[in-house]
Amino acid sequence: MTKIKRLQASAGLSDSFEKGRGQLLALVHCEARLPNEDLALNRKSDEVLELLQQYLVGDLTAEALALQLPTDIEPRKRQ
């Protein structure tokens, strides 16, 4: 994560990216604590990672990224 932060700073990435990166880290930590059978098939961490990737390749603006990041970071459980 330290290397990511250094690369992020040198690339001049937005505050939205920083927020999304923090959410991704928190989601991965939360999801790692759940048994695999309790995890949703479409994990929030996957959604956030995809949003960050779309931003990095220019498919999303910083504003669009900020609007699409989840408001909660609790992983969904299977229903």
> Which pLDDT score is estimated for 77?
57
Domain total of the chain: 1
38 in a structural domain:
yes
Asked if residue 4 has pLDDT above 90, the reply is no
Asked if residue 62 has pLDDT above 90, the reply is yes
Burial bucket for residue 20 (CB in 10 Å: 0-12, 13-18, 19+)? buried
60 in a structural domain:
yes
31 in a structural domain:
yes
Of all residues in the chain, what percent carry a pLDDT higher than 90? Answer: 54
Range of the domain at 30: 12-68
37 in a structural domain:
yes
74 in a structural domain:
no
36 in a structural domain:
yes
DSSP label at residue 77: B
Q: Encode pLDDT of 12-45 as tens digits.
A: 999 999 999 999 999 999 889 888 888 878 889 9
Count of Cβ atoms closer than 10 Å to residue 25 Cβ: 15
Task: List all residues 6 or more positions away from 61 whose beta carbon is below 8 Å from its beta carbon.
Answer: 55
Q: What is the pTM of this model?
A: 0.80
18 in a structural domain:
yes
